[in-house]
Amino acid sequence: MASPDPDAALRAYAEIAPYYNAFAADPDYGAWMGLLHGIVQRHGPAGKLLLDAGCGTGLSSVRFADLGYAVTGVDAVPEMLDQARADPANEGIDFRHGDLRDLPAFGAFDVAVCTNQPLHYMDGEQGLRAAFAGLARNLAPGGILVFDMLTARTWERQAAGPKVRDRGANITLWRTEIGAAFPATSPVRQNMDLFVRRADGAWTRVSTVHPYHHFPDRAVRAALAESGFEPLGADGFRAGAAHEGLDEEHDVLGLYAARRV
């Protein structure tokens, strides 16, 4: 597998940005943010200042605002932030430019959330530690970090062959290749073709490359402990429901919590 282009993801989301909300729309989006909110409540704290890191167009940010948080959304892609700021639904949310690979300090937040797996774009375990260190810089002592990560099971299923999702107005095709070191920490390359139906009935095609990394549970917990966090555990997610304890061979996602020390 060729060495990843560190800025490929930024270019990919710049191209996807005008279509992202239609591509990512999910009727369970609010329920998913509610699930992450429940994990925050389980571990504390009582504060309501929340950093949505890797916020994209604000689909997650507005759900957290609906849950009573004062939200600051941060993303590395200006085109995604333009979409977020232009959406009337996001009124009152403060959107800032910042890259998870070297996140500056925007404040001392009570909660930081990374949802929809932006941490998979970090370049290896060193990159993951740098991202966690940046998130720690943005949390008050005792603040809670909650994030989700894909499991080895999910990457294996995606790499088994091309995957297609047809939503009528948009169709997405994914082709995934995993590195030789898998299921240890390993690069994952995903080619994505998004087809969007235009008003005239023709289709727009947007082709992008996504340079991910797979991080096993061991690597995630070690990176947290080395970056200013106390790991608090991980829930597993499968068949539409979360449960205590992560099983990497059967769960599709891990839902992690950590406390800033």
For the chain, the structural domain boundaries read: 8-150+215-260, 154-212
Question: Average pLDDT of the chain?
Answer: 95
Question: How far, rounded to the nearest angstrom, does the alpha carbon of residue 93 sit from its chain's CA centroid?
Answer: 19
Q: What one-letter code names the amino acid at 234?
A: A
- The pLDDT tens digits of the residues spanning 212-252 come to 999 999 999 999 999 999 999 999 999 999 999 999 999 99
Are both 8-150+215-260 and 154-212 of the same fold? no
The topology (CATH level 3) of 154-212 is N-terminal domain of TfIIb (2.20.25)
- Determine the average pLDDT of the residues in 196-208: 96
DSSP 205-261: EEEEEEEEEE--HHHHHHHHHTTTEEEEEEEEEETTEEEEB--TTT-SEEEEEEEE-
- The pLDDT tens digits of the residues spanning 145-186 come to 999 999 999 999 999 999 999 999 999 999 999 999 999 999
Query: pLDDT band at 38, cuts 50/70/90?
Result: very high
pLDDT at site 22: 86
* CB count in 10 Å sphere of residue 126: 10
Query: pLDDT band at 23, cuts 50/70/90?
Result: confident
The whole-angstrom separation of Cα 221 and Cα 210 is 24
Q: Which one, of 79, 54, 26, 88, lies nearest residue 206 by Cα?
A: 79
Helix (H, G, I), strand (E, B) or coil at 27: coil
pLDDT at site 6: 73
| Least-confidence region, from 5-14, 24-33, 72-81, 205-214 | 24-33
Say whether pLDDT at 4 is over 80.
no
Is 51 in contact with 107 (CB distance < 8 Å)? yes
Say whether pLDDT at 1 is over 70.
no
The whole-angstrom separation of Cα 213 and Cα 180 is 12
- The pLDDT tens digits of the residues spanning 45-84 come to 779 999 999 999 999 999 999 999 999 999 999 999 999 9
Q: The pTM is what? A: 0.95
The topology (CATH level 3) of 8-150+215-260 is Rossmann fold (3.40.50)
pLDDT at site 2: 58
Is 55 in contact with 73 (CB distance < 8 Å)? yes
Is the sign of the CA dihedral 244, 248, 250, 253 positive or negative? positive
Query: Helices then strands (H, E): number in the chain?
Result: 8, 12
